[in-house]
Chains A and B, each alone.
Chain A
Amino acid sequence: MILDRTAADIAAAVRAREASAAEIAEAALSRAEERNVAIGAYLSVVADVARAHARKVDERIAAGESLPLAGVPLAVKDNMCLAGTRTTAGSKILANWIAPYTATAVQRLLDAGALPIGKANLDEFAMGSSCENSALGKTHNPWDLSRVPGGSSGGSTAAVASAMATIALGSDTGGSIREPAAFCGVVGFKPTYGRISRYGLIAFASSLDQIGPIAKTVEDAALVYDAMAGKDPCDATSVDRAVEATERSTRDNLRGLRIGIVKEFGLEALEPAVRAVYEAAYRDLERLGAELVEVSLPTADYGVATYYLIAPAECSSNLARYDGVRFGARVDRPSLTDMYLRTRGAGFGAEVKRRVMLGTYALSSGYYDAYYVRAQKARTLIAADFARAFEACDVIACPAAASPAFEFNAKADPVSMYLMDYYTIPMSLAGLPSLSVPCGYAEPPGGTQPLPLGLELSAPLFAERLLLGVAHAYERATGHARKRALPAIAASAVAS
């Protein structure tokens, strides 16, 4: 089945006219219909848009164009605009909003030949680590339907893991691509802050938000990145700096590279089965020729506290636009202030309210210096820690998450949920390119089957080419993503 192949393979088949975009679109749409009931990865399936793009792709191929993502099924996280489609951010307040334009990152993938199949579920406004904060749907982990897919890009990672899409777009503010990629056993890549335009991405925390690819392989993630990276006049913070094509950044060993193992991220606290997987991953990096060096990030331990002041502060400002005036839901009241209060009280879910209030408090008169400015100073220290560490190593390796996917309702206390992003937040604060690549499987206590884990690799600012090269070599040598079949899909295939 062509849908089970990689994006690189599918695009090559379409370019060689062994398959048409139209037939791939139909296959992807019928698979979405089959599998989305159990998985819930998509909030909406955009069949008309998919078919229209497929026709265009087939015409362009017939006209002799060479499209890097020709006919590749794409899932778009539902906080990115796709003109003419419902774009909800997983929130009641935008439940019926139709995007009037298309996000630059999405448009660039469409221009490269990708076929948008559906809009993927997420924690409301990308605030969460499990998709449980979505107001509009529940997404199940394809490896174990009683567990979360991770978040906030959990719909995107579940769509790729269950082969309802070959590639997906996620957004990562504190780990929202990398943690769900680890939980779903796929590759999730957050490029350097500013590499990918945020135009058309519904803003959460603007100094941290970054769009990135989710894929089955590192090569596919690189293909997607190459198609969308680079300056966009519509996003003033997108970086005007040459993007080195990563597609050919393929290496088969790690000789001559120093890989930093973070002293403060010791594996002792992890469950034994999880710890064994990461110890094996580090040994594999060494076996491939890398020199492992210990590096220290003394302030990384403050990452979660820093993040939970900066991100809420920025979101309290960004979400001020949902006021019932220009778009989204409104609760009618005779007075304007009352209309604002009721609209936002009814339209936002609990996590969004918590963060908006925390951010409002941290920015309010008398607390600004004690909370917000102090967190910005901590951010300086965390970035400086990484700069020092990268004097001693080329790439940093650590777990993407402390455990495999957890069960629904397992993290009822907000702080325990926030700590899920312990290993991903420091890199976000420092703006670094960082990815999660499948590195093995561990059976959680009380679990019934082994679940995937992700190795997080992080590189200096703008060193995407190096980062993807290292991940590719590791993936090629270990092949963890190919070692186990997806139990949920195997079961549904038997059933159908």
Chain B
Amino acid sequence: MSAQTPAPRIDVRYVAKLARIALQDDEVATYGAQLENLLDHVAALERLPTSEVAPTALIIPAANVEREDDVRPSLPRDVVLASAPQVQGPYFRVPRIIAEAE
């Protein structure tokens, strides 16, 4: 048995960035260890013979559901905007995403 610690499988900082979650340094260490543990647990699936098996996304057969293209009332705009963190007029306000023209 090798005395070396196996290289971590998860780069927690990278995954957290993909998931858009800011982590503190202590969280990186804690979640890193916990996620490695979880990967050890789910590695059991490698023992299942799955090469000839079709994946199941949904247990009930489902097809695209269509309806008539008729106009129906939506939620009132003021009710929806009332839940927003920040609004400007009838819009959701977000931080600038396009740089101002030079």
State whether these chains interact. Answer: yes
Q: Would A375 and B38 be within 8 Å (CB), given that A100-B79, A329-B85, A356-B19 are in contact?
A: no
User: What are the residues of chain A within 8 A of B88 when measuring CB–CB?
Assistant: none
Residues from 353 to 380 in A contacting B, C-beta threshold 8 Å: 353-354, 356-358, 360-361, 364, 371, 373-380
User: Contact between B37 and A378 (Cβ–Cβ < 8 Å)?
Assistant: no
User: What are the residues of chain B within 8 A of A358 when measuring CB–CB?
Assistant: 35, 38
User: What are the residues of chain A within 8 A of B7 when measuring CB–CB?
Assistant: none
Comparing A103-111, A176-184, A232-240, A266-274, the segment that makes contact with chain B is A232-240
Question: What is the interface size of chain B, counting residues whose CB is below 8 A from a CB of the partner?
Answer: 51
Q: How large is the interface on A (under 10, 10 to 19, 20 to 34, 35 or more residues)?
A: 35 or more
Instruction: Provide the B14-25 mask, 1 if CB < 8 A to any CB of A, else 0.
Output: 011111111110
- Shortest A316–chain B CB gap in Å is 6
Which one of B30, B56, B80 has the highest number of Cβ atoms from chain A below 10 Å of its Cβ? B56
User: What are the residues of chain B within 8 A of A237 when measuring CB–CB?
Assistant: 58, 60, 62
User: Contact between A236 and B65 (Cβ–Cβ < 8 Å)?
Assistant: yes
User: Contact between B67 and A302 (Cβ–Cβ < 8 Å)?
Assistant: no
Q: Is A439 an interface residue (CB 8 A)?
A: no
User: Contact between B21 and A361 (Cβ–Cβ < 8 Å)?
Assistant: no
Q: Once bound together, how far apart are the Cα atoms of A375 and B57, in whole Å?
A: 10
A378 touches which of B45, B85, B92 (Cβ 8 Å): B45
User: Contact between B35 and A378 (Cβ–Cβ < 8 Å)?
Assistant: no
Instruction: Provide the B62-99 mask, 1 if CB < 8 A to any CB of A, else 0.
Output: 10010100000001000110111110000010111100
Instruction: Provide the B29-63 mask, 1 if CB < 8 A to any CB of A, else 0.
Output: 01100110110011111101010011111111010
Instruction: Provide the A192-233 mask, 1 if CB < 8 A to any CB of B, else 0.
Output: 111000000000000100000000000000000000000001
User: Contact between B80 and A100 (Cβ–Cβ < 8 Å)?
Assistant: yes
Residues from 325 to 365 in A contacting B, C-beta threshold 8 Å: 325-330, 332-342, 344-346, 348, 350, 353-354, 356-358, 360-361, 364
* A429, closest chain B residue (CB): B59
Q: Number of residue pairs across A and B with beta carbons under 8 Å?
A: 167
- Shortest B69–chain A CB gap in Å is 14
User: What are the residues of chain B within 8 A of A344 when measuring CB–CB?
Assistant: 19-22
User: Contact between B37 and A414 (Cβ–Cβ < 8 Å)?
Assistant: yes
Q: Once bound together, how far apart are the Cα atoms of A131 and B61, in whole Å?
A: 33
User: Contact between A98 and B82 (Cβ–Cβ < 8 Å)?
Assistant: yes
Residues from 422 to 474 in A contacting B, C-beta threshold 8 Å: 429-431, 461
Q: Would A193 and B35 be within 8 Å (CB), given that A236-B65, A333-B95, A336-B94 are in contact?
A: no
- Shortest A461–chain B CB gap in Å is 8
Q: Once bound together, how far apart are the Cα atoms of A304 and B34, in whole Å?
A: 16
User: What are the residues of chain B within 8 A of A380 when measuring CB–CB?
Assistant: 53-56
Q: Is A276 an interface residue (CB 8 A)?
A: no
B22 touches which of A320, A342, A356, A361 (Cβ 8 Å): A342
Q: Once bound together, how far apart are the Cα atoms of A340 and B95, in whole Å?
A: 10
* B64, closest chain A residue (CB): A236
The 7 residue pairs across chains A and B that have the minimum distance between CB atoms:
A345-B22, A431-B59, A376-B55, A330-B85, A377-B50, A341-B22, A236-B65
